[in-house]
Amino acid sequence: MTCKEKILSNEYADIIINNIQPDELQLFDNVDYCSDIIDEEFNIAFVRRQGLPETSIGSYTYAAIPDLYGLMQSFSPENLVEMGNIRIQNPPLSLKGRDVIIGFIDTGIRYSLDAFLDEEGNSRILNIWDQTIQTGDPPEGFLYGTEYGNDEINAALASENPLNIVPSTDTNGHGTAMASAAAGSIIDQGLTFRGAAPEADIAVVKLKEAKAYLREYYLINDSVPAYQENDIMEAVKYLDALSDRYQKPIVIVLGLGTNLGNHLGSSPLGDYLNKVAASRQMAIVVCGGNEGDKQHHYRGSVPKQVEIRVEEGTRGFHMELWGCKMDEYNVMLRTPGGEITPVIDFRNGTDRTFSFLFDRTLIDISIALVEPRSGEQLVFFRFRQPSAGVWSIIVSPSERDRIRGNGQFDIWLPITEFIDGNVTFLEPDPEVTLTEPSNVERVITISGYNGYNGSWYFESGRGFTQNGAVKPDLSAPGVRISTAVGERTGSSMAAALAAGCVAQFMEWAIIDGNAPLVENRGIKGYFIRGAVRENNIVYPDPRWGYGKLNINNTFEVLARL
């Protein structure tokens, strides 16, 4: 079997390897596997599952198992006016994203739509890497999927059946909505539709769906879009290389998110984004997710009884508890019927499964006293066929009463799309609900608000990070955003509009030579200076960050310098 076939096969597990700790590869001695290098730090191993331990934190490190990410979605020009975007599209600045690439990592693109054509009817899409199609050539240096260039896309557009030549499309519509909001062409002089950066070049990665064994591990329904962390890392690597190929600056935008992780941005994907975002002529924009009102985050201090309501018919769900580095906790679980598990000590690094006499539920628990990448304590739960009702998790000091810190802990349920029933905390905390990777330090993190009335979009994720670092950075309109496939709402749409603004700024700074060395952190700083702030809010704020993005204000600030 070729390495490409192993990458695609559910019979092979995808394992994220930290090259700085190569001992992890010893797990695969005498086992059939191949590997693909992301960079000097990360390597992806594709290992035959037969004979391997079951997927669990006890058998592998937490970071080695790819997280799964979902879509953060839930033309009216008012939103572009709200951000000051249309004003700078017009003279004297006339910034429309010219010669800047906006790269989308999502569900693909419907490339034949007018929103992606120039005035001569040619495609503005430079390249599509479709990870789901294996019949053509992958990009140079990559092992799977098929890459389509601009010439092939234009040849397809000139034919009677474009999909016979370039069979890549977007059956979901999320990627197409993102691309058109950020970079859609001006149609009918802008009266019908326009994107935030209507002359930017477009690049697209259509992600392949997550493997079945990972869906089962995270208890995610087969019908829900879910994408693997390692495939997203490959997509970032591809777009970074594409910027070098064309010698053009690039904005990478992510409309994906997950509740997996400690909400500090310290996952393999987070570390990789931090590294790539430090490059010149590179910016990365990430949405903050739509978990602000979903009652999926709990924060407390020991001793504490945490209550979770589970709806009838829920097939299963996963959950993570992250504790303070300095403290040691125990946990117990109580079923809706009153049965209680034994005390589970954080010092126990093995995997355990609990069953009950009068309850059908099976609960798998994995414990890491010290999760290697963060140094924090982690308990990972898998509730299989959970009984309906109120479940309790009793979190207490360890038998040695090792509470040296503040005794604080956080628990996150999955993003809403990843649960096939209604599962919520009875006493939730709406703060620290930004999805990963929006907690990554160097990326530009965008929350959403209603651009029609200026009010907060109640579903949008809120900061700060788990340790109090400032996120989100800025807020942008995310409600009823006009796209080439109809109006869309969600923080991903806010990120798309923000990415268009970044492309406009890059045109002025890099293409026009006004600040050619600017990078992600500098762009963020300029945008913060121009943000709109209310007098009755103390900034930075967990909802608004440093304020509402307004690129026209940014240029007015620059004019005064």
In-domain check, residue 327: yes
In-domain check, residue 77: no
Q: What is the pLDDT of residue 405?
A: 62
Residues 311 and 372 in one domain: yes
Residues 11 and 41 in one domain: yes
Q: Which of 425, 446, 479 is the last residue of a domain?
A: 425
Residues 166 and 133 in one domain: yes
In-domain check, residue 463: yes
Phi, psi of 246 (to 5 degrees): -95, -5
* Whole-angstrom distance, CA of residue 267 vs CA of residue 232: 12
* Whole-angstrom distance, CA of residue 231 vs CA of residue 271: 15
Cα-based distances in Å from 243 to 102, 183, 238, 551: 10, 17, 9, 24
Tell me what the pLDDT averaged over the chain comes to. 92
CA nearest to 218, candidates 366, 48, 31, 422: 366
Preceding amide of 46 cis, omega within 30: no
Tally of domains in the chain: 3
* Whole-angstrom distance, CA of residue 208 vs CA of residue 146: 11
pTM of the model: 0.95
Residues 157 and 172 in one domain: yes
Q: What is the pLDDT of residue 22?
A: 53
In-domain check, residue 170: yes
Q: What is the pLDDT of residue 105?
A: 98
Contact present, 297 and 428 (Cβ < 8 Å): yes
Residues 120 and 189 in one domain: yes
Q: Residue 355: which CATH number?
A: 2.60.120.1290
Residues of the domain holding 47: 3-71
Residues 401 and 467 in one domain: no
* Residue that the structure tokens 């939730």 belong to: 428
Q: What is the CA radius of gyration of the chain?
A: 23
**Residue burial 44-73, b: 16+ Cβ < 10 Å; e: rest:** bbbbbbeebeebbbbebbbbbbbbbbbbbb
Q: Residue 234: which CATH number?
A: 3.40.50.200
Residues 216 and 174 in one domain: yes
Residues 223 and 105 in one domain: yes
* Residue that the structure tokens 């539709």 belong to: 193
* Whole-angstrom distance, CA of residue 427 vs CA of residue 12: 40
Q: How many residues does the chain have?
A: 561
Q: What is the pLDDT of residue 75?
A: 45
Q: Which of 425, 457, 473 is the last residue of a domain?
A: 425
In-domain check, residue 555: no
Cβ contacts of 154 within 8 Å, gap of 6 or more: 122, 123
- 478 bridge partner residues: none
Q: What is the pLDDT of residues 266-305, one digit of tens each?
A: 999 999 999 999 998 999 999 999 999 999 999 999 899 9
CA nearest to 444, candidates 455, 434, 456: 434
Q: Lay out the sheet containing 344-345: strands in order across.
A: 344-345, 329-334, 389-397, 304-310, 423-425
In-domain check, residue 80: no
* Whole-angstrom distance, CA of residue 282 vs CA of residue 173: 26
Residues 369 and 485 in one domain: no
Amino acid at 192: T
- Strands 423-425, 304-310: parallel, antiparallel or unpaired by DSSP? antiparallel
Residues 148 and 61 in one domain: no
Residues 302 and 287 in one domain: no
Measured between alpha carbons, how far apart are the two ends of the chain, in Å? 61
Contact present, 267 and 397 (Cβ < 8 Å): no
Give ∠ CA 523-469-20 in degrees, rounded to 5.
85
In-domain check, residue 540: no
Encode the chain (561 residues) as per-residue pLDDT tens digits. 899 999 999 999 999 998 765 555 566 667 888 989 999 899 999 999 998 888 988 888 899 999 999 998 664 456 777 888 888 998 898 999 999 999 999 999 999 999 999 999 999 999 999 999 999 999 999 999 999 999 999 999 999 999 999 999 999 999 999 999 999 998 877 557 889 999 999 999 999 999 999 999 999 999 999 999 999 999 999 999 999 999 999 999 999 999 999 999 999 999 999 999 999 899 999 999 999 999 999 999 989 999 999 999 999 999 999 988 777 788 999 999 999 999 887 765 678 999 988 888 999 999 887 787 777 889 999 999 999 999 999 998 876 655 566 789 999 999 999 998 899 999 999 999 999 999 999 999 999 999 999 999 999 999 999 999 999 999 999 999 989 898 999 999 999 999 999 999 999 999 999 999 888 999 999 999 999 999 999 999 999 999 999 999 999 988 876
In-domain check, residue 556: no
- Strands 125-130, 201-206: parallel, antiparallel or unpaired by DSSP? parallel
Residues 372 and 286 in one domain: no
